[in-house]
A and B are shown apart, each in its own frame.
Chain A
Amino acid sequence: MTDSILMFLAEHTAVAALLKLLLLVLGFVMPLASLSTWAERRQSAMMQDRLGPNRANIGPVKLWGILHFVADAIKMMFKEDVVPAKVDRFLFALAPVMAIAPVLITFAVVPFGPDLCVGQVLSVVTDPTTCKATIPLQVARMDVGMLFYFALASLAVYGTTLAGWASYNKWSLLGGLRASSQMMSYEVCMGLSLMGAFLVYGSLEPNAIVTAQGSNILNWGIFTQPLAFVLFFTAAIAETKRAPFDLPEGEPELIGYFVEYSGMRFGIFFLAEFIETIFLAAIVTTVFLGGWQVPGLDSSGFGSFHLPHLAVVLLQVVAWSLKILFLCWLQLLIRWTLPRFRPDQLMRLGWKQLLPLSLLNIIITAAVVLWRSGGK
């Protein structure tokens, strides 16, 4: 029974893709993004010696205030959706969609587990290449996976820029302009800093990068490409427009490109920001932290300690989730530790420091790869 369902999914990739999307987006990304909105306020409260949101409850169930995210969601949905008189109505409606859709779509390229071996779920699988049929735990497997990600990440710029322009408000226009120049500046560094990892693992396909890293922790991107890790993480945080790179919002002076948005439309921008942090964590996990790999765990188990295929896959999916949770938490700490940059510092960091360093990283990596392939 189970086998025939799995077989059906292995053959019908589009159906499987939809199921995996529902599982990934509704089962992992959206809950985590909603929880992040609460975790962020709680974390900042802890760091500033406050209590933070801790009161939302259903009867006696309080759970340290976790339920605040439910309350927030309900509140946002039933708030009045004010559309100011002079806005460009079409672009005003399009902007939130442009902010959230690309980042949801790019989750398709993230591998959240190894290939599931159909028919051998409960037995020990020593060589996954011998499986008759497999279901990749990745929505869309494309050779150009990372390129697809960069292409869609550039589309997200439109969300903020259009929101700023369509709002017919000086402050949101300034916020939108700042956002577009900041995101464009750092996108160059993002692309160039990952080039080293592509050289080392010889692929643009995320699952191939994860497979190439293997279960040996010293072969993971963070050890083979330490400079790229720092460069990419910095540039990608700038891309999420959160502190210390929150100039487009600049709460005391601008409020942000979404100043005219209210109710759930504002909620979409808010949620998109948290989904972006999760996505950034997913990409860093994939390229630098071995993706779904567990140190020492091969497809048959830990060394000579064999485990059934299903247990191995579950362990690897859990490892993937934990890595993402850790990176999300790390971003919260960074966001509440560092003060905001000035615009000139922002531009200097992007163009005069990160960009030359990522070019240097490419040349050094290429030279090392060349030397290693000959030096046998």
Chain B
Amino acid sequence: MSVEQATDYGPTLVAILFGIAFSCVFLGLAMFLGPKRENAEKLSPFECGSEPIGSPRVRFSVKFYQVALLFLIFDIEAAFLYPWAAIFRRLSCLGTVIGGECLGTVTAFGFVEMLVFMSTLVVALAYVWRKRAIGWG
């Protein structure tokens, strides 16, 4: 597979515009097709018929926030792994790679580098595990 090939992003743009337009058509159908017969009961928050007590903007558990932080950490680390995974065969070969086979000396450079990086990830995971930041216990 040749690597030096310009990617045509035109179709991607078409897809993005199509997706947005299509969903907006749906939303338009929703807004304009049905009847409008509003009354005070219908416009109040739905709580199975009882009167809502207080504002719905309630305080929520800090754990949701923790999960968001952990997601950021691990997802960014995953993002660093994608390019590594895609060029792993070329990283671990000192010659040219043809059809997944290395014509030259195989090197563990890419593998070891990633082990180092992954170990920081594992340490982070072990730390949040010990601190009980993950899980809902």
Contacts and interface: CB of A to CB of B under 8 A. Distances in A.
B125 A25 contact: no
A227 interface: no
Given A348-B135, A373-B106, A192 B20 contact: no
Interface in B64-122: 64, 67-68, 70-71, 74-75, 78-79, 81-82, 85-89, 92-93, 97, 100-102, 106, 108, 110-111, 114-115, 118, 121-122
Chain A contact residues: over half helix, strand or loop, or mixed? helix
A25 B18 CA distance: 10
Interface residues of A, number: 86
B60 A86 contact: no
Contacts of A133: none
A243 interface: no
Nearest to A191: B78
A73 to B, nearest CB: 10
B70 to A, nearest CB: 8
B47 A366 contact: no
A267 B100 CA distance: 47
A168 B8 contact: no
A14 B10 CA distance: 6
Nearest to A105: B19
B30 A188 contact: no
Contacts of B122: 359
Q: How large is the interface on B (under 10, 10 to 19, 20 to 34, 35 or more residues)?
A: 35 or more
Nearest to B18: A21
A202 B10 contact: no
Given A140-B12, A352-B135, A374 B111 contact: no
Interface of A: 13-14, 16-18, 21, 25, 77-86, 93, 96-97, 100-102, 104-105, 107-108, 139-143, 146-148, 154, 167-171, 173-174, 177, 180-181, 184-185, 187-188, 191-192, 195, 198-199, 202-204, 208, 212, 259-260, 263-265, 267-268, 343-344, 346-348, 351-352, 355-356, 359, 362-363, 366-367, 369-370, 373-374, 376
Given A97-B24, A348-B135, 7 more contacts: A77-B33, A78-B35, A85-B43, A100-B26, A105-B15, A170-B52, A362-B85
Interface of B: 1, 7-16, 18-20, 22-24, 26-27, 29-31, 33-38, 42-47, 52, 56-58, 60, 63-64, 67-68, 70-71, 74-75, 78-79, 81-82, 85-89, 92-93, 97, 100-102, 106, 108, 110-111, 114-115, 118, 121-122, 125, 129, 134-137
